[in-house]
Amino acid sequence: MFNAIKITKDDHGYAAALQPIDDSELPEGDVTVRVAWSTLNYKDALAITGKSPVVRKFPMVPGIDFAGTVSHSTSAQWNVGDRVILNGWGVGEGHWGGLAQVARVKADWLIALPDALELRQAMEIGTAGYTAMLCVMALERHGIQPGDGDILVTGANGGVGSVAVALLSRLGYRVVASTGRAQEAEFLQSIGAAQVVDRAELSAPGKPLAKERWAGVVDAVGSHTLANACASTRYGGAVAACGLAAGMDFPASVAPFILRGITLYGIDSVMASRARRLEAWQRLAKDLDLGVLARITHAVGLADVVALAPQLLAGTVRGRVVVDVNQA
């Protein structure tokens, strides 16, 4: 038996609760992992609350990522005792995920924990940090250099945003952090933001083209914020879009793309190639100040997750939430 958050949907309604589960209920997979740490991500909160149809079959154990140790393997890729990370691949949506003490998954979904990281640190970074790194890599591939101008990070107090601020700052970029929580300005400056702006500057309907301000953008918000970020990106700049906290719509025009030649990169962390995952995690182990993680992360137990999910959706949770699945 092991403990897990289990989501059910039946004639009595939709429910998520911590409960014991028998090992025989685990889904198919060639690697079984004793999970040490998971996280609470925006998508996990949607799944737990049922606010969006994230879960594709029931019952479901949520949790789109985890870090742990292989306890059983029928794959030549992994041996008992290997320390591994999982991000995405539909885990927590269509396949039981990481908000549990045990997970069984496909061997190809796992990557080895970088030597420089501990299991907890891997989840302090988590899918949010891994996604932030994918965004940074997209801006770098576009050719944006630290001397080219300001980089805007929207949703800067969230998981993706806070890691993006810390990463970009350490890499030498001047970061402008956008947030709706003015009281968090000091926190954002402590992790690397050179300037903090109110999200109201970007969240209302705007013009097709605005004053050129940003060499690049990491956007975790979507909707009008993404449209305005594109409208105010400098000629030849790039925007990496990875989130939809404000909505899935994109009320923009083609003007920034055809008149200023900007590029919009869609960042998908769920199905990213193994090669790109490995590059992102090796870069995180090298380029992220691990000391900053303590300032952007707080730990909770598995029993705290269900109550915390609606708070995360409401935008009242700062930074990253790591889950000690072995803490009641």
Over the stretch 128-168, which tens digit does the pLDDT of each residue have? Answer: 999 999 999 999 999 999 999 999 999 998 889 999 999 99
> Hey, do 2-113+294-324 and 126-266 end up sharing a CATH topology, with the first three levels equal?
no
Q: Is the pTM higher than 0.85?
A: yes
In tens, the pLDDT along 88-114 reads 999 999 999 999 999 999 999 999 999
Answer yes or no: are the C-beta atoms of 305 and 323 closer than 8 Å. yes
Which amino acid, 282? Q
Q: Which residues contact 160 (CB under 8 A, 6 or more apart)?
A: 128, 129, 131, 132, 135, 218, 220, 242, 243
Give the residue carrying structure tokens 């993680």. 293
Answer yes or no: are the C-beta atoms of 259 and 113 closer than 8 Å. no
Confidence band of 38 (pLDDT split at 50, 70, 90): very high
Q: Would the pLDDT of 191 be above 70?
A: yes
Domain boundaries, given as residue ranges, for the chain: 2-113+294-324, 126-266
Backbone angles phi, psi at 6, to 5 degrees: -125, 130
Confidence band of 205 (pLDDT split at 50, 70, 90): very high
Q: What is the average per-residue pLDDT within 315-322?
A: 85
In tens, the pLDDT along 11-36 reads 889 999 999 999 999 999 999 999 99
Domain covering 2-113+294-324, topology: Quinone Oxidoreductase; Chain A, domain 1 (3.90.180)
Q: Would the pLDDT of 319 be above 80?
A: no
Confidence band of 328 (pLDDT split at 50, 70, 90): low
In tens, the pLDDT along 285-297 reads 999 998 888 888 8
What average pLDDT does the chain have?
95
Backbone angles phi, psi at 210, to 5 degrees: -125, 180
So what's the pLDDT on residue 54?
92
So what's the pLDDT on residue 263?
98
So what's the pLDDT on residue 183?
87
Query: What is the C-alpha separation between 159 and 98, in angstroms, rounded?
Result: 17
* Ranges assigned E (strand) in 88-201: 102-105, 110-112, 151-153, 175-179, 195-198
So what's the pLDDT on residue 197?
96
So what's the pLDDT on residue 327?
87
Question: What percent of the chain is modeled with pLDDT above 90?
Answer: 88
Confidence band of 255 (pLDDT split at 50, 70, 90): very high
- Specify whether domain 126-266 bears CATH 2.60.120.200: no
Give the residue carrying structure tokens 């900007």. 262
* Full 3-state SS string of 22-72: CHHHCCCCCEEEEEEEEECCHHHHHHHHCCCCCCCCCCECCCCEEEEEEEE
Answer yes or no: are the C-beta atoms of 82 and 107 closer than 8 Å. no
So what's the pLDDT on residue 172?
97
Closest CA to 158 of 193, 128, 125: 128
